Structure 1
Amino acid sequence: MQRLFFSLKFSNAQQQQLLPYQQQALSLCPGAKAVDHDNLHLTLFFLGQVNTTQQQRLVDAAQQIKLAAVSLTLDHLACFARPKILYLAPSVIPDALLQLQQQLAVLCKAEGFSDIHDSYRPHITLARHAVCDAAFKQPVAPLTLQISEFALYQSAQLDGRLQYLPLYHFILI
């Protein structure tokens, strides 16, 4: 069994573009712990523990998704009081992102996985262990990313460090 999730696939250059926003978030909440830059991602569907058979069926189904690339404009910092994270998010969720997330949710639910959240709220976790007001929201200079891939990731502890490892890549057209 592996702990898996579907996520947008950011390039290394895109992850680097997120670092000034992460620094800004950390300056607002100095006690928070930064997410490693190579773990910065935007979750589409969290699966949890997945066996090999389920994983292959999910991959086969995800390969059938033929959707447009996503243009994502991130423009504000905010906080989830639980699980205590600071994040960067879009004010407007692009239709292409919603379509991708909804198609993935359908195929994941068909395999018996349930969504642990009431509604989809796309965000990039910048820092954990952030103690802040749940109403906190701060506008930032907009950052627009062109995303042409999503991936199935494994969440694993390697050498005492949490790492998100892309197992399968899927191209958005």
Structure 2
Amino acid sequence: MITDKRDYLRLFYALWPDGATRAALSQLQIAMAGRLTRSDNLHLTLAFLGAQPPSSLPLLESILMALPSVTPKLTFDRIGYFTEPQLAWAGMSAVPEALSTLEQNLAQALERAGIHVDRRSSFIPHVTLARNTTALEDFPFDAVEWKASHVALVHSDVEGGEVVYRVLTSRMLDGR
């Protein structure tokens, strides 16, 4: 039973951008209000695991290492908005099959391992750009291309009132 915040880790799996992609996504934030996502925290969540005991890390790492070797080519060509909790995000008009396959394989592996992932809503791949913001009516921008090459198991924590994401383990998606 989790009785104390220190008894668990808040974890998620994500595609982790390279420096050039991170910089391009950060440029989309220039005209946004609200609480902007720190550049080093930009990512695309594949599965949010929530509170997990530290003892689950070896299993979660093995699931990461067993994911299929695919390198999805992502084109962020639209800005979206989730009303609750007031998030602006970069997304794709067309989700590549390789990305859908990766997410489905991960969800199935987690299910087989007995790890609950909330799948009530469909997978909407996106990168959160700002929180506590309003919808942008007209937001022209050049599409951001990203050949996703890294998948990571990430720990979400709060330090000094700021959200900090730490990559616990990662691997190349091309099998290396």
Cα deviation for residue 53 of structure 1 reads 2.7
| Separation of aligned partners in 1, 2:78 and 2:160 | 33
Q: Partner of 1:106: helix, strand, or coil?
A: helix
8 Å contact from structure 1 (residues 149, 169) kept in 2: yes
Paired residue for 1:23? 30
Gaps spanning 5+ residues in structure 2: where?
A: 1-7
Say if 2:48 is the partner of 1:41. Answer: no
| Separation of aligned partners in 1, 2:104 and 2:119 | 14
8 Å contact from structure 2 (residues 21, 144) kept in 1: no
Paired residue for 2:91? 89
Cα deviation for residue 131 of structure 1 reads 2.9
Paired residue for 2:118? 115
| Separation of aligned partners in 2, 1:39 and 1:126 | 10
Of 101-110 and 118-127, more deviation after overlay is shown by: 101-110
| Separation of aligned partners in 2, 1:57 and 1:148 | 22
| Structure 1 residues 13-54: Cα deviation after superposition (integer angstroms, max 9, x where no partner) | 321111221113x0xxx3x11111111111000000111232
Paired residue for 1:128? 131
Paired residue for 1:166? 167
8 Å contact from structure 2 (residues 16, 43) kept in 1: yes
Q: In structure 2, do the counterparts of structure 1 residues 44 and 139 end up closer, same or farther at CA, with 3 Å as the change threshold?
A: farther
8 Å contact from structure 2 (residues 78, 92) kept in 1: yes
In structure 1, give the amino acid aligned to 2:126. Answer: H
Cα deviation for residue 56 of structure 1 reads 1.4
Of 58-67 and 85-94, more deviation after overlay is shown by: 58-67
In structure 2, give the amino acid aligned to 1:112. Answer: I
| Separation of aligned partners in 2, 1:13 and 1:65 | 25
Q: In structure 2, do the counterparts of structure 1 residues 112 and 137 end up closer, same or farther at CA, with 3 Å as the change threshold?
A: farther
8 Å contact from structure 1 (residues 76, 137) kept in 2: no
8 Å contact from structure 1 (residues 67, 96) kept in 2: no
Say if 2:66 is the partner of 1:59. Answer: no
8 Å contact from structure 1 (residues 71, 146) kept in 2: yes
TM-score by length of 1: 0.88
Paired residue for 1:143? 144
In structure 1, give the amino acid aligned to 2:123. Answer: Y
| Separation of aligned partners in 2, 1:99 and 1:67 | 11
Paired residue for 1:157? 158
TM-score by length of 2: 0.87
Cα deviation for residue 112 of structure 1 reads 2.5
Count how many residue pairs are aligned between Structure 1 and Structure 2: 166
Of 40-49 and 64-73, more deviation after overlay is shown by: 64-73
Q: In structure 2, do the counterparts of structure 1 residues 137 and 46 end up closer, same or farther at CA, with 3 Å as the change threshold?
A: farther
